[in-house]
């Protein structure tokens, strides 16, 4: 599980974003860097098990339209907070999520809600592009970001070109790419989603999951979701199976 990055670890990534987003967002980025640093310090002082959040508050939409898959009236809901630059998030989305989707989401048993919790400013830029891709292309864009994470989530100015390639595959032109990354309002709202999760729901690492309002523990393997959804201890199976 990836922890909120310490200030010294985020310096290289923040430098990358100065190339990616450009001078238009410089003041906003500087403010966000300060926020990320304070968030890291607060998270590092938290000890002991966390309580579950108020379910009604957790399910209340934030400053951006909710991005979800599955039936709106599904009997179960999974909320994930993830960062586009989080290696553990990429592992979940490539190794666990496809089976979870087939087993629960596609058959109407789970509504899956994905929320942005960027650990650095490069992740903010990636999520901005996913939002700019449009509702129908949001999840394919997020999947592409996780699948190719090791090629673009790297220090240096090359990240801009790598992200542009992914954006073009999602149907975003160079002009739209530049316009999207210059959207201060969108940048601020993604940061606000992260801050709300940290302050109200105690999210301080990624990926973080809530299943039917309960904080998911364990290693976030399929059996952990099975246990939370079906009410069985992790690792148990039905007789004869």
Contacts of 111 (CB under 8 A, 6+ apart): 68, 69, 70, 71, 72, 73, 74, 76, 77, 78, 105
Q: Is residue 137 part of a domain?
A: yes
Q: pLDDT tens-digit profile of 16-33?
A: 444 444 443 433 333 343
Q: pLDDT tens-digit profile of 200-240?
A: 999 999 999 999 999 999 899 999 999 999 886 544 444 33
Q: Is residue 66 part of a domain?
A: no
The predicted structure's pLDDT at residue 160: 84
Q: Is residue 235 part of a domain?
A: no
Could you list the residue range(s) of the whole structural domain that residue 193 is in?
2-48+72-230
Q: pLDDT tens-digit profile of 117-136?
A: 999 989 999 999 999 999 99
> Domain with 89 in it: what CATH number?
3.40.30.10
The predicted structure's pLDDT at residue 239: 38
Q: Domain count of the chain?
A: 1
- Mean pLDDT in residue range 169-181: 94
Alpha-carbon distance of 81 to 115, in angstroms, equals 5
Alpha-carbon distance of 5 to 76, in angstroms, equals 31
Top-ranked range on mean pLDDT: pick from 5-19, 46-60, 141-155, 227-241: 141-155
Q: Is the pLDDT of residue 174 over 50?
A: yes
Q: Is the pLDDT of residue 43 over 70?
A: no
Alpha-carbon distance of 166 to 168, in angstroms, equals 5
The predicted structure's pLDDT at residue 241: 39
Q: Is residue 95 part of a domain?
A: yes
- Mean pLDDT in residue range 74-82: 98
The predicted structure's pLDDT at residue 16: 42
Top-ranked range on mean pLDDT: pick from 96-100, 150-154, 163-167: 96-100
The predicted structure's pLDDT at residue 127: 98
Q: Is residue 135 part of a domain?
A: yes
Q: Is residue 238 part of a domain?
A: no
Model confidence, pTM: 0.80
Q: Is residue 161 part of a domain?
A: yes
The predicted structure's pLDDT at residue 40: 34
Alpha-carbon distance of 179 to 210, in angstroms, equals 34
């Amino acid at each position: 599980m990836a922890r909120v990055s310490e200030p010294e670890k985020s310096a290289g990534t923040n430098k990358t974003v100065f190339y990616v987003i450009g001078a238009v967002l410089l003041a906003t980025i500087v403010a966000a860097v300060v926020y990320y640093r304070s968030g890291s310090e607060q998270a590092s002082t938290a000890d002991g098990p966390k309580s579950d959040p108020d379910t009604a508050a957790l399910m209340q939409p934030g400053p951006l339209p909710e991005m979800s898959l599955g039936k709106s009236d599904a009997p179960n809901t999974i909320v994930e907070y993830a960062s586009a630059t989080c290696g553990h998030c990429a592992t979940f989305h490539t190794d666990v999520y496809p089976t979870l989707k087939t087993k629960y989401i596609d058959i109407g048993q789970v509504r899956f809600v994905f929320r942005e919790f960027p650990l650095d400013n490069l992740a903010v830029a990636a999520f901005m592009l996913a939002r700019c891709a449009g509702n129908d292309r949001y999840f394919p864009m997020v999947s592409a970001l996780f699948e190719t994470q090791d090629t673009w989530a790297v220090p240096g100015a090359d990240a801009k070109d790598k992200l542009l390639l992914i954006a073009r595959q999602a149907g975003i032109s160079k002009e739209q790419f530049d316009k999207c990354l210059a959207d201060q309002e969108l940048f601020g709202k993604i940061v606000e989603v992260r801050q709300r999760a940290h302050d109200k729901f105690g999210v301080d690492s990624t990926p973080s999951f809530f299943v039917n309002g309960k904080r998911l523990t364990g290693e976030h393997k399929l059996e952990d979701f099975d246990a939370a959804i079906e009410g069985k201890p992790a690792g148990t199976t039905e007789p004869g199976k």
